[in-house]
Amino acid sequence: MEKQIKTALISVYDKEGLESIIPLLNQHNVHVYSTGGTYNFLETKINTITKVEDITGYPSILDGRVKTLHPSVFGGILAKRSDDHLSQINEYNIPTIDLVVVDLYPFEETVASTDDQQAIIEKIDIGGIALIRAAAKNFNDVVVIPSKKSYHSLETILKTGDGKTSLEERQVLAAEAFDISSHYDTAIFNYLSNGKKKEQALKLSIQNPEVLRYGENPHQKGIWFGESSPMFEKKTGKELSFNNLVDVDAAIQLMAEFENDPCTFAILKHTNACGVATRSTVSEAWYAALAGDPISAFGGILISNAAIDLQTAEEINKLFYEVLIAPSFDQAAYDLLSSKKKRILLEQKHFQRQSKNFKSILNGVIVQDADLKQDIQTDLTSVTDVKATDEQIEDLLFAHKLVKHLKSNTIVLAKNKQLLGMGCGQTSRVDACKQAIEKAGRMGFDLEGCVMASDAFFPFPDCVELGHKAGVVAVIQPGGSIKDQASIDYCNQNNLAMVFTGTRHFKH
Residues labelled as active-site residues: 137, 270
Q: Are strands 411-414 and 419-423 parallel, antiparallel or unpaired?
A: antiparallel
Measured distance CA(408)–CA(372) in Å, rounded: 17
**Beta strands 419-423 and 450-454, pairing class:** unpaired
Nearest to 297 by CA among 254, 268, 326: 268
- Contact present, 142 and 170 (Cβ < 8 Å): yes
Taking CA atoms, 507 is separated from 286, 373, 427, 456, 460, in Å, by 26, 13, 13, 10, 20
| CB-CB neighbours of 93 under 10 Å | 8
232: β partners: 348
Task: Report the phi/psi class of residue 266: left, alpha or beta, with left for phi > 0 and alpha for psi in -120 to 50.
Answer: beta
CA distance 252 to 168: 29
d(CA 454, CA 470): 16
Cβ burial 327-366 (10 Å sphere, 16+ → b, else e): bebeeebbebbeeeeebbbbbbeebebeeeeeeeeeeeee
Task: Give dist(CA 119, CA 250) in Å, integer.
Answer: 30
Calculate the alpha carbon distances from 414 to 84, 257, 403, 406 in Å.
Answer: 58, 16, 11, 14
Taking the C-alpha atoms of residue 1 and residue 10, their distance in angstroms, rounded to an integer, is 24
How many other CB atoms are there within 10 angstroms of residue 213's CB atom? 13
Nearest 5°: CA angle at 334, between 332 and 340? Answer: 120
The answer to whether the beta carbons of residues 33 and 52 sit under 8 Å apart is yes
Q: Which is it for strands 210-211 and 7-12: parallel, antiparallel or unpaired? A: unpaired
Query: Measured between alpha carbons, how far is residue 34 from residues 54, 161, 198, 396 in Å?
Result: 10, 24, 37, 32
Angle at 304 between CA 300 and CA 308, to 5 degrees: 105
